[in-house]
Structures are given as structure tokens and as C-alpha cells.
Amino acid sequence: MAMAELLNPKNTDAFPLVITPGACSGDFGNDLAIGIQKQKLWLEGQLFGSPGAILFRGFSVSNAEEFARVVEAFGYESMGYRAGAATRKHLVGPVYTNNALDSETELGFHNEMSYLADYPDLVVFFCEVAPPPSAGGATGIVQGKAIYNRIKKEFPEFTEDLENKGLVYYNLRSEESWKKVYETNDRAEAEAKAQILSRTLLWLDDGGVKEILSKGTRKGIRELDSGVHGNNKVWFNSIGSAKPWFPQFQYFEFSDGSKLPAKAVEAALKIMDEEQVSVEWQAGDIVVMNNHSVLHKKHAAAPNTPRKILVSMLKTSGAPV
């Protein structure tokens, strides 16, 4: 079951695993959906164990409909995009547009929707339009265990607080912003709409609001199923998305209201970049990743760079993630 290539020649752990047509004794052939159905148990071993991410490259997949067929071949439930922070549009079946950020905007490393109580088990990206070579726009991926192991050595108290105190994620919105987002000038109506999204609004003296993105706290460190992963702890949060604004980052605090230590956050951001593998997109590429153990990042591209990435978010209903 050896794969054809590695994105990083120094990456002897084959992260991500790269599958091309004809791999695995020809069982995949050129029809990726049929290949997934035939090799589902083996693929689950790669996704729910190590390496946790797979790149399918060179298959004939060119649009949202064909991508949907590939996603549906796994047989998992699409969770849609309930209460997420990004702007996405539903296209077909389990397929949505990716975030609506400008091409030049970077989005740092995060586990998808880790700020919510309910988040996808698998995240699947599809490249419909690839950015030109050297224009930027790659997607970085990194294993949560690599981040955790390194940051724990440098800042053990920080990782303990992430695990034990947990995180609260929030937005700070001006009066103009919350009225636009919730499409009302009435605070009570805004609170009712926020509650539907499992959000809490805390009103500020200046007319703005602190918008808590999820009820309760979210652990910043998770321990994966010991029966599958060997009792591994992993970095599981959205702290990496602070990078474009560091050190003036907001949006996160510990559950007791204390701030995250700037030096530890800065070190974590550096570690993520050092440990990442960048997927330089080719048209038709599909990346499947275990959202519990793998984080991803949108690299900036030159202004107006053509780039179209679609996404599907799946719940695996009892698979050993």
C-alpha cells in the first residue's frame, strides 16, 4: 500500500499520504469514488490513526458535482455548516464554498470549528481552480501532536492551562457590526438570534458587544482515543488564527477570564509554521484530514489570484477518531 510521492522529501512519516491513480495494486484506478468504496477500511486506518491526512492527486475530478460523489463514497454524514464563523455557500449535496476571504488574506492554523461544541470529524478540501505557481495560496497542514509535543517542552504551564482551564472564543463587535450581522437594531432580537447559534452576547458600554461563540469552554488540548492513537495528546484549538494580528490578538481567553501568555502564543505560532507541510494546489486535488488531529491554514496569495477551493465537513458516526 505504498504511496507514490511525498510533498516534503524530508518527511519520512509520509504526512500527508499521497494517493495517485493506480496506487494500491490498481484498486483505485481512475475512478476515485469507486476506489474509496473498495479501500474504505484501509483509508480509515490512515485517517483515524497516522498520518491523519491524505492527498488524492491526479484523479479526474473537476467540479462540485464530481467532488460530491467522491465525498459521498465515504458513506459519512455531512454536518453542513451550522453556526460556523466563516461565510460559506451551499453548492450541492455535502459541498460548500470555502471561506470568502480575499486571496491576499492569511488564515492561521486551526482545527475546523474547534470553537464550538459540535465540529466535524473529517474535513475534505477540493481544488477546482488552482492558483498559478509561485502566486501563493497554498494550504498548510500540521499534526496536532507535533505542536503539542514541542510547546509542552517550552511552556508546560501553558499547555496545562489549555487542557484544564480550557478556552473561551469570542468576537468584539461594534454597534454597527452587530446590527449588520444580526440584521436588527433591537438587542433582545439580536440575543434571540445569537441563542439559536449557541452564542452569548455581552453588551459593552460603548454600544458594542462581546460575542461569545459557544456556550461553555472548549479544551485547547485533547486526548485522542488511546485504543487507536496510543494515548496521544494533541493541540486542538484555533489559536493559530491569531497570527495575522499578533501580538494585538484578541478573540481568545482562558475560562477564568485570564489572557493567554503572549510569549507562549508567539512560540506556538512559530512551531506551527515550522512543522507544517504546504499543499501547493493542483486542479483536481482532494485533501481529506482528521479534524481532531490535523490543523490547516490558508496561505496568502497575490491580490486577485485565481483560487477556488471547495469544502465538505463530515461526521463519522462512531468511527474511532
What total number of domains does the chain contain? 2
Q: What is d(CA 219, CA 197) in angstroms, rounded to the nearest whole number?
A: 20
Structural domain contains residue 212: yes
pLDDT for residue 229? 46
Cα atoms in the 13 Å half-sphere on the side-chain side of 178? 28
Residue 119 and residue 61 share a domain: yes
| Same-domain pairing of 266 and 149 | yes
What is the C-alpha separation between 317 and 75, in angstroms, rounded?
A: 10
- Whether residue 112 sits in one domain with residue 53: yes
Backbone φ and ψ for 149, nearest 5 degrees, come out as: -60, -40
Cα–Cα dist 236/253, whole Å: 15
Which pLDDT belongs to residue 82?
61
What's the rounded Cα separation, in Å, for the pair 179 and 88? 20
For residue 227, is it within any domain?
yes
Q: Copy the grid coordinates of residue 66.
A: 464530481
81: domain CATH number is 3.60.130.10
Cis preceding linkage at 120, omega within 30: no
Distances (CA, A) of 265 to 46, 58, 155, 241, 248: 30, 38, 10, 11, 11
Interior angle at CA 33, CA 313 and CA 110, nearest 5: 25
Q: Is 1 domain-assigned?
A: no
- Local mean pLDDT, 10-residue blocks, the chain (321 residues): 41 80 67 93 92 96 97 93 66 86 89 89 97 94 96 97 93 90 94 90 95 86 69 89 59 90 93 96 98 96 93 82 62
Report if residue 198 sits inside a domain: yes
Cut 0.85: pTM above it: yes
143 within 8 A of 224, measured Cβ to Cβ: no
pLDDT at 24: 55
Range of the domain at 311: 17-136+277-315
Residue 3 lies in a domain: no
Inter-CA distances, 229 with 36, 82, 119, 163, Å: 23, 29, 20, 18
Residue 69's pLDDT is 97
Whether residue 150 sits in one domain with residue 258 = yes
The reply to whether 132 and 220 lie within a common domain is no
Q: Is the domain of 29 the same as that of 120?
A: yes
Task: Give the Cβ contact number of residue 185 at 10 Å.
Answer: 10
Would 2 be classed as within a structural domain? no
- State residue 1's pLDDT score: 29
Question: 116 and 164 in one domain?
Answer: no
> Do 248 and 291 belong to one domain?
no
Same domain, 242 and 299: no
Kindly list the strands in the beta sheet with 167-173, ordered across the sheet, starting from the edge strand earlier in the chain: 200-203, 209-212, 167-173, 252-254
Q: Which of 254, 271, 288 finishes a domain?
A: 271
Same domain, yes or no: 31 and 77: yes
Helix, strand or coil, per DSSP, at residue 175: helix
Q: Please check whether residues 209 and 263 belong to one and the same domain.
A: yes
pLDDT at 22: 73
**Does 124 share its domain with 173?**
no
Is residue 86 assigned to a domain?
yes
> What confidence score (pLDDT) does residue 7 get?
52
pLDDT at 115: 85
Q: Is residue 10 part of a domain?
A: no
